[in-house]
Amino acid sequence: MNTTLARRILPAIAATFGVLWCAPLHAAFVFGYDSAFINQGGNWILGNNFEVNSAVQVTQLGVFAQDSPAGASIPIAIYKQTGSVANPSWTLVPGTSDIIVTGDQVDSTAQTRYVNIAPVTLGQGLYSVVTATSSDYNSGNPNLGSSVVTFNNLGGALSLGSYDIWNYYYGGGLGATLNGMYTTGPGNPNWPWPLPVFGAGTFSAVSAVPEPTTLIAGALLLLPFGASTLRILRRRRAA
């Protein structure tokens, strides 16, 4: 291809695919608190677990808005399960730790206060979005009144974990690892609450891989560039 022609067309092609590759897909809060309400207070570390089936990019971190009253600051982070199944520990995912404060943005419909973060990709594995709360939250305890916490699987990219995690919070924020966490969920002998359990942390994410329909749309967008190239080549040959 002629050098001048390449300079004209290749940047347009790259820009088209760049836009398509970066376009947000399935953007939403994964744990939804639209119908949640406060039913408990105290100082706790609370984690809602989820399994990543295909890679996603986390773009926002948030907390149940009723868990962030005036003057409060709520540490939040995403951890990945490490160690053995029998004795799991949780390791902080770099770039997913923040503190939600009163002045941060609020989605009133979703009852979620949130911050934007630089996109962080989560590969396959078991994760937990964890808050260290010193305020009110929803414990998931059905004896204290049912509270609907919803789960968005992002078109199958995510699924619920088989249990959630919690522990006492003694201040100081969230560290690089979590150990000795208690578990809760269906079948638990002490805290058999329905999943997702807690009205606490959440996050927004998009699929890290474009859907086939998106790639097809990109190919269709490139057709005019191809036709233009053919016309230019024919004119050059005729000359």
- The confidence score (pLDDT) of residue 61 equals 96
- The confidence score (pLDDT) of residue 210 equals 57
Please determine, for residue 68, whether its predicted confidence score (pLDDT) is greater than 60: no
- The confidence score (pLDDT) of residue 15 equals 47
- The confidence score (pLDDT) of residue 36 equals 81
For range 2-19, the mean pLDDT:
50
Q: Is 12 helix (H, G, I), strand (E, B) or coil?
A: helix
| Rounded-to-integer distance, Cα 197 and Cα 130, Å | 12
Q: Is residue 119 part of a domain?
A: yes
Backbone angles phi, psi at 45, to 5 degrees: -95, 125
Q: Is residue 227 part of a domain?
A: no
For range 32-50, the mean pLDDT:
86
Closest CA to 97 of 69, 76, 118, 66: 76
- The confidence score (pLDDT) of residue 236 equals 60
- The confidence score (pLDDT) of residue 146 equals 66
- The confidence score (pLDDT) of residue 58 equals 97
- The confidence score (pLDDT) of residue 233 equals 53
| Rounded-to-integer distance, Cα 128 and Cα 81, Å | 8
- The confidence score (pLDDT) of residue 127 equals 98
Question: Which CATH number fits the domain that encloses residue 129?
Answer: 2.60.120
Q: Is residue 75 part of a domain?
A: yes
For range 224-234, the mean pLDDT:
56
Report the predicted TM-score, pTM, of the whole model to 2 decimal places: 0.76
Q: Is residue 64 part of a domain?
A: yes
The whole-chain average pLDDT of the chain stands at 79
Structural domain of residue 122, as residue ranges?
28-210
Q: Is 66 helix (H, G, I), strand (E, B) or coil?
A: helix
135-157 b/e with 16+ CB inside 10 Å = b? bbbbbbbeeeeebebebbebeeb
Q: Say which residue the tokens 């790259």 belong to.
A: 14
- Tens digit of each residue's pLDDT (9 = 90 or more) over 88-116: 899 999 999 999 988 899 898 888 999 99
Residue 2, CA atoms < 13 Å, CB-side half-sphere: 11
Q: Is residue 10 part of a domain?
A: no
Q: Is 36 helix (H, G, I), strand (E, B) or coil?
A: coil
Q: Is residue 217 part of a domain?
A: no
Stated as kind and residue range, the H or E segment containing 206 is strand 201-207
Q: Say which residue the tokens 């329905």 belong to.
A: 194
Q: Is residue 202 part of a domain?
A: yes
The structure tokens listed for 162 are 């088989």
Please determine, for residue 67, whether its predicted confidence score (pLDDT) is greater than 80: no
DSSP state of 186: T
Stated as kind and residue range, the H or E segment containing 200 is none
Q: Which residues contact 216 (CB under 8 A, 6 or more apart)?
A: none
Cβ atoms of 33 and 198 closer than 8 Å: no
Stated as kind and residue range, the H or E segment containing 25 is none
**How many structural domains comprise the chain?**
1
Closest CA to 40 of 113, 108, 102, 133: 133
Worst-scoring range by mean pLDDT, 63-77, 84-98, 183-197? Answer: 63-77
| Rounded-to-integer distance, Cα 61 and Cα 137, Å | 17
For range 129-145, the mean pLDDT:
75
Stated as kind and residue range, the H or E segment containing 162 is none
% of the chain beyond a pLDDT of 90: 44
Q: Is residue 140 part of a domain?
A: yes
| Rounded-to-integer distance, Cα 153 and Cα 196, Å | 12
Residue 218, CA atoms < 13 Å, CB-side half-sphere: 18
